Amino acid sequence: MNDPNRQAQIPAPENPTAINHSAPMINRNRGSFWQTSALAICGIIVFTVLVELSAKWFQITLSGSMMLIASIALTAVPTLLWLTAFYLLDRDEPEPRRYVLGILLLGGFLALTVAIPLTRNVFRVQEWTGLTPWYMQLLCAIFTVGFIQEFCKYAAVRYTIYFNAAFDERIDGIIYGAAAGLGFGSVLAIEHLVQAGGAQLSTAAIRIAITTLAQASFGGITGYFIGRAKFDNMGKWWLPGGISLAALLNGLVTWLLGEVSSQGLMLTPSSGLILAGATAVLVFIFLAYQTRRLAQHKAD
């Protein structure tokens, strides 16, 4: 029997004017990220201009142990700026700083102990310049330098932080992949400056900025594929395809920068620097777009 004293429980109608609080949060974070990225780019430009002006005023050309010290100091500024920009990609749930820095250091360690010895001492890619047509140099850069470097970044993420509870969303793959790439790029920049046996500071500053951003962006590509593979059923060819794409882009920029050349920094064409920098920036924008898309998907 129905209880006459009992009020009928009628479900409350949905409020059509209800506000989705996640959307403003995404838009606010999106704006903050682009502001931070713009500041990082402006910081890189100011850094490069200051270094170039110092080189012109003081006629500085470095070599020997001073080159090593100056290379580390010059590399630290762009690395910290790019690290900040990539770290803020995941502003909603930022990763533990100790893990991000740990992956960055691991990336640098793998570059120093695995990638550089393999490319220079085993495959000896620096000796291929001048002996083959340009397209063979490009293929060499992709299938040796590109794949070796990107697999090292993949290993830095896949066999360490991948199993940690902190790696709990797709975006994390981009963050940790970029961190591994930044460590990689920092060591590569220092190594190439030292191997050149002396370089103009203005050229060195531009090359460091491009190398660190490019390696971080390509690491982010690899990390994006790792993150999607962990949480989505992407198929057996997803990860090999992602590493191959990152290796292709890596090899292209490597070839543009002349890193498979033994001619040194002084002879690097400015057009190569411009094209390499443009490629790195485009990949960075792609990663920012993917991060925003993943954040929106998570909010929905």
Render pLDDT for 18-57 as a digit per residue (tens, 0 to 9). 444 444 444 444 555 667 667 777 877 788 778 777 767 7
DSSP track, 68-130: HHHHHHHHHHHHHHHHHHHHGGG-SSPPPHHHHHHHHHHHHHHIIIIIHHIIIIIS-GGG-TT
Reported as a pLDDT band with limits 50, 70 and 90, residue 174 is: very high
Percent over 70 (pLDDT), the chain = 75
Candidate from 105-119, 142-156, 208-222, 266-280 with smallest mean pLDDT: 266-280
Higher pLDDT, 289 or 168: 168
Residue 127 has pLDDT above 90, yes or no: no
Residue 224, CA distances (Å) to 71, 168, 276 in order: 30, 13, 21
Please enumerate in sequence order all residues whose Cβ is within 8 A of that of 63, keeping only pairs 6 or more positions apart, or say none: 197, 198
Higher pLDDT, 259 or 183: 183
Largest separation between any pair of C-alpha atoms in the chain: 99
Residue 246 parent element (H or E): helix 238-257
Candidate from 80-84, 145-149, 244-248 with smallest mean pLDDT: 80-84
Neighbours of 158 (CB within 10 A): 20
What SS3 state is found at 269?
coil
Report d(CA 34, CA 36) in Å as an integer.
5
Candidate from 2-11, 114-123, 228-237 with smallest mean pLDDT: 2-11
User: Among 40, 42, 45, 50, which residue's Cα sits nearest to residue 201?
Assistant: 50
Residue 61, CA distances (Å) to 52, 200, 204, 211, 272 in order: 11, 6, 10, 20, 22
Specify the pLDDT at position 39. 74
Residue 35, CA distances (Å) to 26, 29, 221, 277 in order: 14, 10, 22, 20
The answer to whether the beta carbons of residues 47 and 209 sit under 8 Å apart is yes
Q: Which two tokens stand for residue 233?
A: 């059923």
Residue 197 phi, psi (nearest 5): 75, 25
Render pLDDT for 68-104 as a digit per residue (tens, 0 to 9). 787 788 888 888 888 888 887 777 778 899 999 999 9
User: Among 248, 246, 177, 259, which residue's Cα sits nearest to residue 210?
Assistant: 259
Specify the pLDDT at position 206. 79
Average pLDDT (188-206) is 73
Reported as a pLDDT band with limits 50, 70 and 90, residue 9 is: very low
Domain residue ranges of the chain, discontinuous segments joined by +:
25-299
Report d(CA 147, CA 141) in Å as an integer.
9
